[in-house]
Chains A and B, each alone.
Chain A
Amino acid sequence: MKRRTFVKGVTLGAAAVAGGLAAPSIWAKGKTVKVGVLHSLSGTMAISETVLKDVDLMTFEEINRKGGVMGHMIEPVVVDPASNWPLFAEKARQLLTVDKVAAVFGCWTSVSRKSVLPVFEELNGLLFYPVQYEGEELSYNVFYTGAAPNQQAIPAVEYLMSEDGGGAKRFFLLGTDYVYPRTTNKILRYFLHSKGVADADIEEVYTPFGHSDYQTIVANIKKFAGGGKTAVVSTINGDSNVPFYKELGNQGLKATDIPVVAFSVGEEELRGVDTKPLVGQLAAWNYFMSIKNPTNESWKKEWAAYTKKKNLPSASKPLTNDPMEASYIGIHMWKQAVEKAKSFDVDKVIAAMGGQKFHAPDGFTIEMDPHNHHLHKPVFIGQVRADGQFDVVWKTKGPIKAQPWSPYLPEDKGKKEIAVKMTKKS
């Protein structure tokens, strides 16, 4: 039995691969342009990244249906870096030198981005990075379509300190132990100092990747909360969030007493969680699936139809989330920039990217900053609903400008927000 299902799986897989290969060969008759998709389809990050690959492919299909980019059909080259950070760099090199792609859409974790960065700078490639991150980076060859800290972390903490957010006086900063949470919490600590919060009222705690036993930490949060109104700022990444939230629910920590705001928990991450005990917990993003506007409605419909057509595992409950939206915006902006530059040449496209506008599913017209390679994005704070979706309880009036160099970090003083091309001699 086991064997048979295995054989079936392999056959299905082979058929899918064959199908994927057959499709581009039809377009190959006309003019085509190759673009790379660099997301982990296996390993620990597959949970989050697989869906970005799918939304990328959906967007390519959508653009091809409408005539392609300057009449060129997009031909995606999908590679699997397998959640292996050095392999990201190898695959990026392969995409740029062997496949000669015009642009690459990919990466999730900051460590994978740091790994491919030298490759893109050396070969003068073009990368669109669709995930919120810690800032402190500005590369000529990268466009950051996710949020910088001032578009996510800082507004979220400001909300927690406001009367509606509970008027928190003490902050428990909880994260996974790697570069993104540590840098974000460093910025937050400086920010909280500037708001008059003392070090005694800030607790910073880290857990290893994949940590699954949050009993002690939740008990410590309770204890810490004895000293005054407390809020938890969670930068836990990946599937550790599930046991963390389960423990919160089981130990009876309610959002009305100790709210938890998360920066890496969206609709997709809550898929595996019973959300009833979590009602009221918060997340800060630039997009929520529950946002009501015509663009979002049609985008969600398009995604639901695509999952059904491709028979993706998520077809029974198609979800959209912030990084998916950021991927979608990135691809469209690239297309617009190519059409403006009338060329696929990386330097010309980069020059044309600044000031590109796109009407995004978040309901706003999003603009690429003319200088700093980041998007101006609106910020939403959402509250978990019993059905795993979010209710927006706070939002900015409009898009706000990204600050990749945090004004709160002393070492960032005087850094210029202009991406400069790395001078290359070879």
Chain B
Amino acid sequence: MRSLFLAALLALAALVPPPALALDAAAVHRLALGDTSNDKIAAINALVESGDERAEPLLKALLAGSVQTSGDRVLIVQGDSAIDALSGEKVVPIPEDASNVVLNNRIRGVLDSAVSALRLLSHDQATRLKAARELADDPRAAALPVVDKALARETDPEIRGVLEIVAASVHLHEGSKAERLAAIRTLASSGNSKTETLLLPLVAKKPDGSWAEPDAEIRVAAQASLADVRGRLAWGERFGLLFAGLSLGSILMIAALGLAITYGLMGVINMAHGELMMLGAYATYVVQNLFHAYAPGAFDWYLVAALPAAFAVSGGAGMILERTVIRWLYGRPLETLLATWGISLILMQCVRSLFGAQNVQVDNPSWMSGGVQALPNLVLPYSRIVIILFAAAVVGGIWLLLTRTRLGLYVRGVTQNRAMASCVGVPTARVDTLAFGLGCGIAGLAGCALSQIGNVGPALGQAYIVDSFMVVVLGGVGQLAGTVYAGMGLGLVNKLLESWSGAVLAKIAVLVFIIVFIQKRPQGMFALKGRAVEA
């Protein structure tokens, strides 16, 4: 299949006329108006072969979905006006009958490599290196003649190294035995997951049991290279697992932190905790919309404003709750549970009436989209890195607040001995309100963080409430450190089990583990030392 395609391509390359003065009109027409994918791909290849730098804007526009056709004309649309791809003249307004050129994934893939391939001939060293790296990610035969051309005139050693791997992946199935062996050895030094795909056919067996590759020497070389590549990929997988565990752990931790204060320190079983997170997420949504409407230029920084807003909304709601409902139910856990559960239903329905039952869209700021390529087969998404750091910052902040401020001192005092604290003049009622507000505010912050990776809908809180209680109970009631360890531990264990047994079984296994653990150690991982009053 592949070699056939390549042969067709080479034949085509021979047919293509030398670069003309204007863009190759026939190719452009075939590209935009061609009937079949083969037509369009042939046209793309023709444009790449021509090495014409003016083809790049057209191909890029095509990728971006801004190429339209109107009759015989091919237009590159920019806002309200368009440019004729062939003549370069401006077309205003865009004709009524203009319709988008639809690409399928196959054409899009060829286009991707075509754009990179064209950039290989650029004069800028950085552009060339970037293009070469992109091609290494996506070694499609379509780019071959250009790669050879670029390799022949490339002087920069770094770019040459990358290009050699690209070329090797292309030479793997063609050429003399020496060339193929050299290509296989070059590929061994690549840490790209796609290299595995390239090498596998060389060591595969046909259905009848014979080897697909008749030459034993090539098979052995391929086997060795494959082992090298796989060894490198395995490390990426291990680190990926660790990172996933950390990330899930940080999410569990931040979701449970607020609860660690309201339930852990104050003993209020707050079933509305999840809904306070939801309020935080909706506050983020509202702030985002305000930025969209009034400050689209600063949109990337809306989270900076959303964080205090989420904290204020959830914290405020929490304080109102404490003053109006929970205050009257201290020391009556069952009633608190029922009342807060009722409140959670009320909050959910309110949000549903105000914002609708559908999920709302919270966009990531552009700096949180995508990820950093840590290893060839490991991408760490920025959003998750940011959330890990944010969770750490919140934990640090709370720790400082509880240990270094007067409010923290009061909270700890009231927790340990309410009567005594009251006797020495601590306004216990106000401390309760503030502490509860703080716990709820942190739930709001968690909601703001969750809005960046998950769904924002009225039922957002429901998804996290059980996990939050799990973390707090496992960590030990009344202990902040316990929450941190339990959150991280559960995250890592969950991810390890998931990679081993699948998501459904992992969830069950974790729940069973917690049940057994609580039986053995009802006080959680870390018990309050000394006199636990009110226990």
Residues of A within 8 A of B (CB): 2-3, 5-6, 9-10, 12-13, 41-44, 46-47, 50-51, 163-167, 177, 205-208, 210-213, 215-217, 219-220, 222-223, 225-229, 239, 242-243, 246-247, 249-252, 255-257, 259, 268, 271-274, 276-277, 279-280, 282, 312-314, 383, 385-386, 391-394
Contacts and interface: CB of A to CB of B under 8 A. Distances in A.
A252 B104 contact: no
10 contacts: A6-B350, A42-B357, A44-B459, A47-B359, A219-B237, A219-B244, A225-B193, A259-B105, A271-B359, A282-B105
A215 B453 CA distance: 11
Contact of A208 (B138, B370, B503): B503
A273 B358 CA distance: 12
Nearest to B317: A2
A165 B1 CA distance: 15
A274 B369 contact: yes
B138 A255 contact: no
Interface string B339-369: 0000000100110111111111111100001
A384 B350 CA distance: 33
Contacts of B193: 222-223, 225-226
Interface string B174-197: 000000000000000000011011
A242 B454 contact: yes
Contacts of B34: none
Contacts of B354: 5, 9
A223 B369 contact: no
B138 A257 contact: yes
A46 B383 contact: no
Contact of A274 (B361, B495, B499): B361
A255 B108 contact: yes
B503 A227 contact: no
B200 A228 contact: yes
Interface string B240-265: 11011001100100000000000000
Which of B241, B382, B384, B502 gathers most chain A CB within 10 Å? B502
B88 interface: no
B108 A250 contact: no
B356 A314 contact: yes
B102 A393 contact: yes
Interface string B447-460: 00000011111010
B504 A208 contact: yes
Contact of A215 (B37, B248, B456): B248
A207 B382 contact: no
Nearest to A48: B358
Contact of A250 (B350, B356, B371, B499): B371
Nearest to A270: B361
B109 A256 contact: yes
Interface of B: 1, 37, 65, 100, 102, 104-106, 108-109, 112, 138, 193-194, 196-197, 200, 233, 237, 240-241, 243-244, 247-248, 251, 316-317, 320, 346, 349-350, 352-364, 369-371, 373, 377, 379, 381-384, 453-457, 459, 463, 495, 498-499, 502-504, 507
Given A47-B359, A51-B358, A226-B193, 14 more contacts: A208-B507, A212-B453, A212-B455, A223-B233, A227-B196, A228-B197, A228-B200, A243-B453, A246-B383, A247-B381, A256-B106, A256-B109, A385-B65, A393-B102
B463 A210 contact: yes
Contacts of A41: 357
A314 B100 contact: no
Contacts of B499: 216, 219-220
A-B pairs with lowest CB-CB distance, top 3: A313-B356, A250-B381, A256-B109
A215 B248 CA distance: 9
Contacts of A393: 102, 104
A5 B369 contact: no
A210 B274 CA distance: 15
A206 B369 contact: no
Contacts of A391: 100, 102
A256 B105 CA distance: 5
B488 to A, nearest CB: 14
A227 B200 contact: yes
Contacts of A239: 359, 455, 457
B358 A314 contact: yes
A243 B104 CA distance: 25
Contacts of A228: 197, 200
Contacts of B320: 2-3
Contact of A163 (B106, B349, B356): B106
Contacts of B1: 167
A364 B317 CA distance: 53
Which of A47, A206, A256 gathers most chain B CB within 10 Å? A256
Contacts of A217: 503
A96 to B, nearest CB: 26
B371 A273 contact: no
B401 to A, nearest CB: 25
Contacts of B358: 47, 50-51, 268, 271-272, 313-314
A387 to B, nearest CB: 9
A269 B281 CA distance: 19
A394 B37 CA distance: 12
Contacts of A272: 358-362, 455-457
Contact of B233 (A216, A226, A273, A282): A226
Given A163-B37, A250-B371, A280-B108, A219 B240 contact: yes
Contact of A271 (B106, B352, B361, B373): B361
Contacts of A207: 503-504
Contacts of A216: 241, 244, 495, 498-499, 503
Which of A46, A207, A210, A250 gathers most chain B CB within 10 Å? A250
Contact of B377 (A6, A212, A222): A222
B382 A250 contact: yes
Contacts of B106: 163-166, 256
